[in-house]
Chain A
Amino acid sequence: MDLLRFATAGSVDDGKSTLIGRLLYDSKSIFTDQLEAVEATSRSRGDEYTNLALLTDGLRAEREQGITIDVAYRYFATPRRKFIIADTPGHIQYTRNMVTGASTANLALILVDARKGMVEQSRRHAFLCSLLRVPHMVLCVNKMDLVDYAQEVFESIADEFSCFAMKLEAPDLAVIPISALHGDNIVTRSANMPWYDGPSLLHHLEHVHIASDRNLVDVRFPVQFVIRPQSTSVTDYRGYAGQVASGVMKPGDEVMVLPSGFTTRIAGIDTADGPVDEAYPPMSVTVRLEDELDVSRGDLICRPHNQPTVAQDVEAMLCWMDESRPMTVGGKYAIKHTTRAARAVVRQLHYRLDVNSLHRDESADSLRLNEIGRVRLRTTVPLLADEYRRNRTTGGFIVIDETTNRTVGAGMIVEAA
C-alpha cells in the first residue's frame, strides 16, 4: 500500500464537504460517534440535512461562524492506498491556506458546480496548484444531478477548464462528472451517465501513477544532523543524517559536498534496520563518507556532474502570508531553505500577480496578505538551489519575520545565480 496526499479546494457551496464526507463514509473512515455528534449539532442548529462540513470544521470559531478557516487534515484508506487529504478553504482570503495544503500534495482536487461552470475561484485554484507544482489535477464537475446528468454541460466545462489548464502547464489533468450528494461516479461508475467512460473518482485516486513524480535523477541530500555516538561501544562513527530529497544514492558513488565543493565517495548508507544498497526519496537515512570532511547541517551532498546552483541572488515567486505587515522592497527577513538558514533582503519586486486574471502589476511596491509576486532576493549565505519546477524540495523556501518569528511567506525559486 502506498501513500497519496491530495489537497481539495472549494467552498461549502461547491459540495466539497459533502464530497469529502462521502469519501470518508464510503471508505468507512467516519465513525459512528463522529456522525452522531455531527447529526446532533446539525439538528440543534436547525439544518435541514446532516451538515458534513461539521466533521471537518473542528475549531470553535469555525463552528460558530459556519466557515472553514484553516487547513484540516483527514485520513482514509482503501486496500490499495492510504490517503491524506489537506482540506483547504477556497475563498481568496484563504489563498495562504490553499498554498500550504498544495505544497505537499501529489494531487489537487478542484470542484466546480455544474450549474455555474468555471468561475473565478476555479481559475484561481488551478493557478495556485500549478504554481505549487502539484503533479496531478482532478476537476470534479459536481451536482450533475441538477443538470439532468447532461453530457453537453459536462463537456463544455471540461473543455473550458482543459484550455485554461494547458496555459498553466498543468502536468496531468483528469475531469470527472459527479454528484457528491447522490454518490454518482464517486466510488463506482454511475448508471446515470452512461456516456462517461472514465473511472470513478475513487478509482482514479487509487490508480493515478505517482511513483514517477519523484525526481530520481538529481541526487540531492541536504544534511540535517551529524550523528556521532559518544559511547565506548560505537567508536569513530560519523554519519550524516537526512532525508533524500531526490535522486538515487548508492554506496561507492562519487559525491560532492556543497558549498565546500570537496569530492569523496559514499562509504555506506545506514538505517536503524541496517545498511541499505540504495537510498531514494523520501527515505530518511544516515550517509557515511569515505573521507573525513568538514560537513555540517545545511550542507548538501550531490553528484559532481549534477549540482544545484550555489547562489546568493535568487529569483522567486513569493506568496505573502502575514496579515500584520506587508512585504516591502528593502525588507530583511530570515529564510529557511532545505536545512539551511539564511537572511535575505528583497532587492526587487518585478510584479504582483492578480491570482484571478493573472494580470501582472509592475507598479506594485509591496505584497500584502495572500498576494503573490515575482521577487529578487539577495541572501547572506549561498543557497544550494534548484528551480522549483524541477525540485520541490531544493526549490522551495519559507520566509520568517525576524521580530515576530512568524512564517510570513512561501517562495518558489525560478532562477538562482
Chain B
Amino acid sequence: MSQPTYRVSHLDALEAESIFVMREVVAEFERPVLLFSGGKDSIVMLRLAEKAFAPARIPFPVMHVDTGHNFPEVLEFRDRRVAELGVQLVVASVPEALEAGLVRESPDGMRNRIQTPVLLDAVEKYRFDALFGGARRDEEKARAKERVFSFRDEFGQWDPKNQRPELWALYNGRVHAAESIRVFPLSNWTELDIWHYVARERVALPEIYFAHDREVVDRDGMLYAVNEHLPRRAGEESFVGRVRYRTVGDASCTAAVRSDADTIENVIAEVAATRITERGATRGDDKFSEAAMEDRKREGYF
C-alpha cells in the first residue's frame, strides 16, 4: 500500500480558504450581504457561498447596485440564479437615486463613481455590517494591499494607512455601530484561478463572457458595444466585431476585447496567453490615474 499523500490542489486550497472566510462572517456578523454585479467573480463568490452552507441555503441576501446601464443577458442571469438559490435580492438603484436627487449624473455619463453613494445609502438603510465583495488582489495595485476583512468607518471610507494587521486566519470583525467590514473571500485568487474554477465546477456564466458578434466602436483603443447607454459620438464608425467581455460592469464603461474564445477551455488558453491585465483591457474608469482605484475605494467604492 502506498503512503497517503493528502494532496490539496491550489484550487482546493483557495476554495477552502474562501469558504472559511464566509463562514467566519456569518458566525460573527448580524447582517451580512453579498455584493453581486453579475460579473464572473461575484458569480464564483455566490457558488462558494452555496458550498459553504450546504445543505442549508445561503444565509444572507444578495445586493445588486444597479447603474441602470445593464447588459440584458446579465440581468436575466442574475434573476435566474437568485431564483435557483432561493436567496433574497436587494437592488440599490442608481436611476432611482438620480430621480430622488441623491446623486447627479456625471458629465461623461459614466455611472461608476455615483454608484458609491447609492451603495452606502443601501448599507445604511438595511444596516448591513459585512459586505462580501468579489475583488481580487491581482486586479489592481491598491487592492493588492487591502485586507480580506477591510474596515470601513461610519462614512464607508477606507483608510489604506490605517488598516488592521491581518495574521494567520484570525480575522478581526469587530465594529462599532454604523461601521462595517468589506470582506473579500477571493483576495488570493487570480483571473486564471477563477476561470479554472469555473471550468472545474461547471459554473454557468452570462453568454457575453464568450466570443460573439457585436456592433462596437473603437474608442481610445477600447471596443465599446453600441447600445442605448452608449450612443455613437460624431465621427465614430461602428462595426461588427468578434468579441467577448473579460469583465462585466456598468455597460457604459466596460469594454469588450477581440476574441475567438467561445468555450471555457478557449477562454483559459486566451487568459493564460494574454499580456494585458483585465482592468487595463476593459475599464475606461481605471485609466484616469495611477491611483484612480485607491481614490474611489477611499470614498467607499467596492
Contacts and interface: CB of A to CB of B under 8 A. Distances in A.
Contacts of A69: 161
Given A82-B193, A243-B169, A234 B10 contact: no
B6 A241 contact: no
A73 B27 contact: no
Interface string A52-88: 0001111111010000011111110100011010000
Nearest to B140: A58
A2 B10 CA distance: 5
Contacts of A61: 160-161
A59 B170 CA distance: 24
Contact of B160 (A3, A70, A283): A70
B58 to A, nearest CB: 11
A61 B145 CA distance: 12
Chain B: interface size category: 35 or more
A299 B163 CA distance: 29
Interface in B1-51: 5-10, 12-17, 19-20, 23-24, 26-27, 50-51
Contact of B16 (A33, A211, A243): A243
Contacts, number: 190
A60 B55 contact: no
B160 A59 contact: yes
Contacts of B277: 31, 33-34
B173 to A, nearest CB: 9
A15 B92 CA distance: 47
Given A3-B14, A75-B137, A248-B6, A58 B142 contact: yes
A170 interface: no
Interface stretch (A120-128, A220-228, A352-360): A220-228
Interface stretch (A137-145, A156-164, A188-196, A402-410): A402-410
A37 B290 CA distance: 8
Interface stretch (A253-261, A379-387, A393-401): A393-401
B100 interface: no
B294 interface: yes
B142 A100 contact: no
Contacts of B9: 1-3
Interface residues of A, number: 77
A237 interface: yes
Given A33-B276, A84-B188, A407-B166, A216 B6 contact: yes
A108 to B, nearest CB: 15
B190 A405 contact: no
B144 interface: yes
Interface in A166-210: none
A284 B10 contact: no
B56 A400 contact: no
Interface string A82-101: 10100000000000110110
Interface in B257-302: 274-277, 280-281, 290-291, 294-295
Nearest to A241: B23
Which of A34, A104, A224 gathers most chain B CB within 10 Å?
Answer: A224
B149 to A, nearest CB: 10
Given A69-B161, A72-B144, A225 B27 contact: yes
B128 to A, nearest CB: 18
A272 interface: yes
Residue among B7, B50, B57, B170 with the highest chain A CB neighbour number at 10 A: B170
B170 A336 contact: yes
Given A59-B160, A224-B23, A228-B56, A31 B275 contact: yes
B247 interface: no
Interface string A208-251: 00010010100000001101111100100100011100001000
A214 B5 CA distance: 11
A222 B44 CA distance: 26
Interface string A264-299: 000000111100000011111010000000000100
Contacts of B20: 224, 243, 284
Nearest to B281: A33
Contacts of B274: 31
A321 interface: yes
Contact of A283 (B12, B50, B166, B190): B12
25 contacts: A3-B10, A58-B145, A59-B142, A60-B295, A63-B290, A63-B291, A71-B145, A77-B190, A99-B167, A103-B168, A227-B53, A231-B56, A234-B56, A243-B19, A243-B20, A272-B54, A281-B8, A282-B16, A283-B12, A284-B20, A339-B27, A396-B170, A398-B168, A400-B174, A405-B172
State the 10 A-B residue pairs at the shortest beta-carbon distance, nearest first. Answer: A58-B141, A33-B280, A272-B51, A229-B56, A272-B54, A284-B19, A3-B10, A405-B174, A82-B10, A284-B16
